Structure 1
Amino acid sequence: MTQFFRTWWTRIATPYMLITAILCLLASIAGALLKQLPVLNLFGALIIALLIGMLCQWPMRKFYMNASVDRSKGVSGAAGLIANKLLRLGIILLGFKLNLQILFTQGLKSLPLAAVVVTLTIVGTYALARAMHVAPRLAMLTAGGTGICGAAAVMAISGSMNSTDSEEVSDEEQQSRADDEVMAVATVAVMGTVFALIDIALLPLLPLTTAQRGIVAGASLHEIAHAVAAGDALGAVDIATIMKLSRVLMLIIAALVIAVWWSKRSNNGQGATGPKKLPIPWFMLGFIAASVLGTVVPVFHAWAPQLVDAGYIFLGMAMAALGLNVNFKAMLSHGRNAVIASFIASVCLLAFSIAAAWLFF
């Protein structure tokens, strides 16, 4: 145990970690503040934090990291650690946003639709992306972000996939993972923003009730911020939010299923004979526990908004850390087909959501 704490203290107590953590914290806070502006609220705090991290990469490298190999490795390592660990903590705290009592009462009718939407979108987007020669990890991250809840889903699913892999991975593999995460997050952010504007313009022209428009917004849009913004514009923010949170609830099941699938896919044909790592993303159990505590324990229920805000700050720091490490050339060269696949899937998702809202709500 002493050795464990000594090892982690050595990794954390460095000037590179201090500098990187402060920069990521400032980016996360800036994202939380800027998301309140009229246009930027469509993107949300996490996307803004990611963009700030990406913008900070150039001055950090030019004026600090390039001056020393140790600095470069130290900052990259610190950013990777922040992205990995604070991601999990942020996802756990995000569980307090899910009030299970509301979902299982007011949102009872939306849960079956959420399950169908998430399943069809993930399977369909992944199959389409793979048919277009998108790498498996990027294809699944794009599918999860499109089907569930945007950036938070991308990061949670990435964490569940990583939890089934070996803890010891090369620097090249770590960079590849980070590039896939950033590309998937950027893709669903753009698609969500575009389709939020489409929903706001198109849905009032269709023969749908206000409630049905809220269902479509919650069922078809990517980020929670997208669903809330569109729902508010359509006069159905409460219904849109409940429908969207019903999809967020599916993140628990999706992360577990994808972890098992990814583990089997990764081990297929390798002939491993030693003990296998249990393919369970343990941080998702924390997400479940937070949802339950926030629903049934009065103290946690009262503090749920603050805990969720803290979760978004940690997630924002993780996103900013990803931005600091992203390889722009690799992201742009490998991401085009993922964007096309997500666009086609988003069109199909919108059409399906309109049909389902018209027929069943």
Structure 2
Amino acid sequence: MTIFKTRSFWSAALLTLICSILGTLLGGLPYLKIIGALVISLILGMLMQIHQPTIKIAKAGIGFISNKFLRLGIILLGFKLNLIDLAHAGIKTILLAAIIVTCTITIGYNIARKLGVEPQLAILAASGTGICGAAAVMGISPQIQVPAGQEEKKREDEVLAVAIVAILGTVFTLIEIGIKPLLHMTPTQFGVMTGGSLHEIAHAVAAGGSGGPVSLDTAIITKLSRVLMLAPAALIIGIWYQKKVNKGQSSGHQKLPTPWFMLGFIIASVIGTFVPLGATVLAWLVKLAYLVLGMAMAALGMSVNFNVILHRGRNALLAASCASVILLTFMIIVSKTLF
């Protein structure tokens, strides 16, 4: 009997769908937009743990949804990425995005390791900080291969990394809005800074929007340029992690991870850009992407160990904070110098 025919799957699907829909609704409220629907869905999933008998029934389905649905959600998220708009932004913006992602992940990971954070958590938190927040954590995570029996610990790392980028993204959004009058930037410069330094798309929209329509459009384009780096980053990190971090932990040849769902992400972006689907259809596909990702986030929240997360999160949060400060400083200099 397949997972789709089991009571566990349908129980998990219903619970996570409720959390995702509520997360979407709550994420649209004025004071909760800055947090974002995905993080709210994760929190709602955590709260579901209060009723353990229900979670126990849905346990197998929760694992399936947190694994498979996140890949589907990432693929659908590709429809949000308009390649023509990115091309119009110019090679300078794309090159800047590549530098931001490469340097932030490298710096964030190395600071975390110096502070004693385990490699798996260190790379997930660094990726979320450098690329696009929760979606990046969920996109990079399938590339992190762990031995049998460590899946629960991996889910804890995913939740912790998402929580870190959500907290820091919110804090730095407020900081950037607060220091805006002190920076004396043009709307374009402020948009480049917010889009290049903040963690989630929602954060870039919130901060960039405070500078007016030109600032908002620039922030979104700059942020989406970083989102474009998700596919190559997933491939490179998967190969690197397998070769370097897992070196010596097991014998024999291990198959390198191939992020096929990232190919789907790229294909979706190509279809969304060049196939005349219409703005309404594209908007609904993006909404579906966030609904599916919200289900995956809720499933993740239903399976975490709170005590472990609180115990292991401090140094990872400190490392990501340091990387975020460095990134913001870099973006202030670059924005005022080159844009």
In the superposition, the TM-score normalised over structure 2's length comes to: 0.96
In the aligned structure 1, how far is the partner of 2:287 from the partner of 2:91?
26
Matched, 1:88 2:80: no
Matched, 1:98 2:77: no
SS of the equivalent of 1:212 reads: helix
Residue in 2 that maps onto 1:22 = 14
In the aligned structure 1, how far is the partner of 2:252 from the partner of 2:101?
35
Asked if the contact 1:107/1:242 (under 8 Å) is kept, the reply is no
SS of the equivalent of 2:144 reads: helix
Residue in 2 that maps onto 1:268 = 247
Residue in 2 that maps onto 1:259 = 238
What per-residue deviation string (whole Å, max 9, x for no partner) do you get for residues 14-55 of structure 1? Answer: 222222211100110111111111110001110000011111
- Structure 1 segment 134-145 matched on structure 2, within 5 A: 134-145=117-128
- Structure 1 segment 238-249 matched on structure 2, within 5 A: 238-249=217-228
- Structure 1 segment 71-82 matched on structure 2, within 5 A: 72=56, 74-82=57-65
- Structure 1 segment 217-236 matched on structure 2, within 5 A: 217-235=194-212, 236=215
- Structure 1 segment 198-213 matched on structure 2, within 5 A: 198-213=175-190
Quote how far apart the aligned CAs of 1:269 are: 2.5
Asked if the contact 1:293/1:300 (under 8 Å) is kept, the reply is no
Q: 1:270 to 1:126 in 2, by over 3 A?
A: closer
**Bigger Rg, which one:** 1
**Aligned letter for 1:244?**
K
**Aligned letter for 1:190?**
I
| RMSD, aligned CA | 1.6
Displaced runs of 4 or more, over 4 A? none
Asked if the contact 2:76/2:289 (under 8 Å) is kept, the reply is yes
Asked if the contact 1:146/1:222 (under 8 Å) is kept, the reply is yes
Matched, 1:155 2:134: no
Residue in 1 that maps onto 2:151 = 174
Residue in 2 that maps onto 1:3 = none
Q: 1:270 to 1:30 in 2, by over 3 A?
A: closer
- Structure 1 segment 331-342 matched on structure 2, within 5 A: 331-342=309-320
What per-residue deviation string (whole Å, max 9, x for no partner) do you get for residues 131-169 of structure 1? Answer: 00001000000000000100000000001224xx56xx2
Asked if the contact 2:238/2:256 (under 8 Å) is kept, the reply is no
Asked if the contact 1:150/1:189 (under 8 Å) is kept, the reply is yes
Matched, 1:56 2:48: yes
**Aligned letter for 1:97?**
K
**Aligned letter for 2:313?**
G
Asked if the contact 1:295/1:301 (under 8 Å) is kept, the reply is no
Q: 1:308 to 1:139 in 2, by over 3 A?
A: same
Q: State which of 285, 288, 298 in structure 1 corresponds to 2:276.
A: 298
Residue in 2 that maps onto 1:124 = 107
In the aligned structure 2, how far is the partner of 1:267 from the partner of 1:146?
23
Point out the more displaced range, 146-155 or 15-24. Answer: 15-24
Asked if the contact 2:129/2:165 (under 8 Å) is kept, the reply is yes
Asked if the contact 1:145/1:151 (under 8 Å) is kept, the reply is yes
Quote how far apart the aligned CAs of 1:109 are: 2.7
In the aligned structure 2, how far is the partner of 1:258 from the partner of 1:77?
28
Matched, 1:317 2:300: no
Quote how far apart the aligned CAs of 1:253 are: 1.1
Asked if the contact 2:124/2:137 (under 8 Å) is kept, the reply is yes
Quote how far apart the aligned CAs of 1:265 are: 2.5
Quote how far apart the aligned CAs of 1:78 are: 1.5
Q: 1:348 to 1:266 in 2, by over 3 A?
A: closer
Quote how far apart the aligned CAs of 1:123 are: 0.1
Residues matched between the structures, number: 337
**Matched-pair identity in %:** 51
In the aligned structure 1, how far is the partner of 2:170 from the partner of 2:62?
27
Matched, 1:359 2:329: no
